[in-house]
Amino acid sequence: MADFLDPKNDLTFKRVFGEHKHLCMSLINNNENTKEIPEELLQHDYIRETLGYMERAAYTKEQLDAYYQWKIDTLTGRAMIENAEARGEANNQKKVITNCVRAGYSAEIISTITGLTLEEVKKMIDEEA
C-alpha cells in the first residue's frame, strides 16, 4: 500500500493526513495488521472518513453486497417514512380546511390560519365539494 501513497506528491494524502504524515506512514508501513488506530489520528475528520473507506475496501464481495443492501433498505425506509409524513400532513390540512369551511370561515381566513396560499385553499375546497 505504501507504494501507492507518496506524501510529497499526493494531494489527497496531504489533505487527509496533513501534519500527521509520519503517523499515517508508520501505520501503513510498519503495522499492516494493526487493528487499532492511534487516538491522535482518530481526532481528525478526514482521517476517520478515510479509514471508513479503507475498511469498506477490505470487505469481501458478500460483505459489500450486504452493506449495499442495508444502505438501500435504510434509504428506502427513510423515503417511505418521509412520504407517509407528507401524506399525513396533507390529510391533516384537508381536515382543517374542511372543518373551517363547515364553521363558516372564508377562504381568506382559512389561508391565514393554514399558511397556504388563497389559490391552494380554494383548490382544496373545490376538491372537497
Residue-wise pLDDT for 84-109, tens only, equals 999 998 888 889 999 999 999 999 99
What one-letter code names the amino acid at 101?
Answer: V
Q: Is residue 74 part of a domain?
A: no
- CA separation for the pair 67, 8 (Å, rounded): 34
Residue 21: give the domain boundaries. 1-58
Q: Is residue 63 part of a domain?
A: no
Return the axis-axis angle of helices 107-114 and 118-128, rounded to nearest 10°: 110
* Those residues with Cβ within 8 angstroms of residue 120's Cβ, 6 or more apart along the chain or in another chain: 111
Phi, psi of 9 (to 5 degrees): -115, -20
* Residue 15 confidence class, pLDDT cut points 50, 70, 90: low
* Residue 1 confidence class, pLDDT cut points 50, 70, 90: very low
* Those residues with Cβ within 8 angstroms of residue 95's Cβ, 6 or more apart along the chain or in another chain: none
Q: Does the predicted TM-score (pTM) go above 0.85?
A: no
Same domain, 89 and 129: yes
Q: Give residue-wise pLDDT tens across range 31-82.
A: 555 567 777 777 878 777 777 777 767 778 888 888 889 989 888 988 899 9
Q: How many separate domains does the chain show?
A: 2
Q: Is residue 69 part of a domain?
A: no
Same domain, 83 and 112: yes
Q: Is residue 11 part of a domain?
A: yes
